[in-house]
Chain A
Amino acid sequence: MTTDLKKSVILHAGVVLALFVLQFVLPAYHHGNMARIMVLASYAIGYNLLFGYTGLLSLGHALFFAAGLYGAGLAMSQFGLSAGPALVVGVVAGVVIGAVVGGLALRTEGVAFMIVTLMFAQAGYLTILYFGAYTRGDEGFVIEQAERVLLGADLSDPLMRYFAAFSLFCAAIFTCFLAVKSRFGRVLVAIRENEERASMLGYDVAKYKLGAVVLSAGLSALAGAGYALLFGYVGASFASVQYSIFPLLWVLLGGAGTVLGPLVGTVFMFYLIDLSSGLTTAYMLIAGVALVVLTVFAPHGVMGEVRRRMWRWLP
């Protein structure tokens, strides 16, 4: 066990180090892409905690991402908060909404849970449109460059932005790694594997599932708030159903229930669309075929296959 733990610490530290070094070697275009990918991958990590580890498929995570995005964005645009406190407001908004939605949606399970979470997210999306006077609806609003300063660092500067995205990603992956290795995370896996058994071992399954929703929502909101600060744009499209489906796709491709899967899936999907759209206007066709091929030949996702074939110790 301890050698397995050592191996996984080395692997994940190596990946984090590689991401840190990348900023010095990447050309400007990919440099910008990677910053965006790291923020989106943090979102996927939050999603993976619920879907990959607890086995709860939510179709409404855009609500939590948007809670962070708008929580931070509105705190700055409407209440004049600076970047640091706004980030906290975003995360708190996600945690609170996660607790409320979780408390209600967890009364259902399976397909009903998917539908209930989807409906809550749609309600959130429509709420954003309804309060268009503040949110500016579909069009969204921009956070001025002058306000996007965190701990003295100008987040609109590409170097700073990369570093901030990197820090956010580190926080997310570290949280996920710790959670998965903890007693809490192992109970979540037990619930995924056999919920009735977990309950008949004396675990309060409902409490653990709510904890998983809240943690997952909190991480998603952190990513959303980070997105608002780093890229300076807050818009309703981030609350749409598309942004609930994205993390599901990223996690499925990268490997559900693996710590690195969300990063791998996000990179893969981002560049799949990026590269294929450079070749043809029918880029979604190429992306679609690639997704089908991967699903057929690696149903556990990239990292899931790696775990199955090579590294059984992969967390």
Chain B
Amino acid sequence: MSLLSAQGISKQYNGLSALSDVSFEVPPGQVRALIGPNGAGKTTLVGVLSGRIPPSSGSVRFAGQDVTTWPAHKRISQGMGYTFQITSIFADLSVRENVGLAARRHQKSAAVVDALVEEALLKTDLWGRVDDVAGTLSYGHQRLLEIAMGLAQKPKLLILDEPTQGLADGDVESFKRLIESLRGDVTILLIEHNMDVVMQLADFITVLEAGRVLFEGIPTDVKANALVRAAYLGGGDAET
């Protein structure tokens, strides 16, 4: 059974259709990438899945429950971790407290919270900066802190919205290693521009174009598909 499933999602903004009849399923344990050219509706779809944007029609199921009408915080408390496309951290609080807030939502015991914080920060290579004020971290480290906050929630599904955006090459490499190390433990929905990252990490890829699902398949099939090539990979949008 799917961990996350979207059925017939449509979204109109003032008559303008951002998504039309999008359906897709993410089975547990998969690393799923969601790609598409700018304006394809990726951000809107993620907003609908996470509960930040109400859909015009269609339904979302998560972990066996219909969550279509649930507010975002309720979905998250049921195991849907979310990291922001534009870094959103508690800039004036310490790195420890940033991750601590993420862990404390589902854990009462201080010792368990400390352990979760340490584990998440070790995984993201931020343990050495645990007592720094989050706002003083470099951009790349703030992106990693976002992911650490996602990990500390021990989510069933981790939604990563453009995690490598603006990262230096070296940081992208460590990001790839990080996702590899999570493979199998947590289901990941990766919204990503960087095709190199997508092809290397994703088990399965959903391609959106103009608010519709254009194609779904494993990375080699996506690469080989003529429609995808025409719409996206062959176009000027692709970054390698």
A-side interface residues, number (CB < 8 Å): 17
Contact code string B59-98 (vs A, CB < 8 Å = 1, else 0): 0000000000000111011000010100011111100010
B153 touches A201 (CB 8 A): yes
Among the 9-residue stretches B99-107, B198-206, B210-218, the one with 4 or more Cβ atoms under 8 Å from chain A is B99-107
Residues on the B chain within 8 Å of A163, using CB: none
B149 touches A201 (CB 8 A): yes
Partner of A193, one of B82, B91, B108: B91
Residues on the B chain within 8 Å of A194, using CB: 88-91
B76 touches A202 (CB 8 A): yes
Quick one: closest A residue to B102, CB to CB? A201
Partner of A196, one of B74, B76, B88: B88
A86 CB–B CB distance under 8 Å: no
A87 CB–B CB distance under 8 Å: no
Residues on the A chain within 8 Å of B97, using CB: 186
A202 touches B106 (CB 8 A): yes
A200 touches B82 (CB 8 A): yes
Q: Is the interface of A mostly helix, strand, loop or mixed?
A: helix
A205 touches B93 (CB 8 A): no
- CB within 8 Å of B: which of A213-241? none
Quick one: closest A residue to B97, CB to CB? A186
Residues on the B chain within 8 Å of A183, using CB: 104, 108
The smallest C-beta distance from B111 to any residue of chain A, in angstroms, reads 12
A118 CB–B CB distance under 8 Å: no
- Known contacts A183-B104, A186-B97, A190-B101: does B73 contact A200 (CB below 8 Å)? yes
Top 10 A-B residue pairs of the complex, sorted by shortest distance between their CB atoms = A202-B76, A202-B77, A193-B90, A197-B88, A202-B105, A199-B73, A190-B101, A202-B73, A204-B73, A200-B82
- Besides A197-B88, A200-B50, 9 more A-B contacts (Cβ < 8 Å) are A183-B108, A186-B100, A198-B101, A200-B82, A201-B101, A201-B153, A202-B73, A204-B74, A205-B73
Return 26 A-B CB contacts under 8 Å, by A number: A186-B97, A186-B101, A189-B93, A190-B101, A193-B92, A193-B93, A196-B88, A197-B84, A197-B89, A199-B72, A200-B50, A200-B52, A200-B72, A200-B73, A200-B76, A200-B88, A201-B102, A201-B105, A201-B149, A201-B153, A202-B74, A202-B76, A202-B106, A203-B73, A203-B105, A204-B77
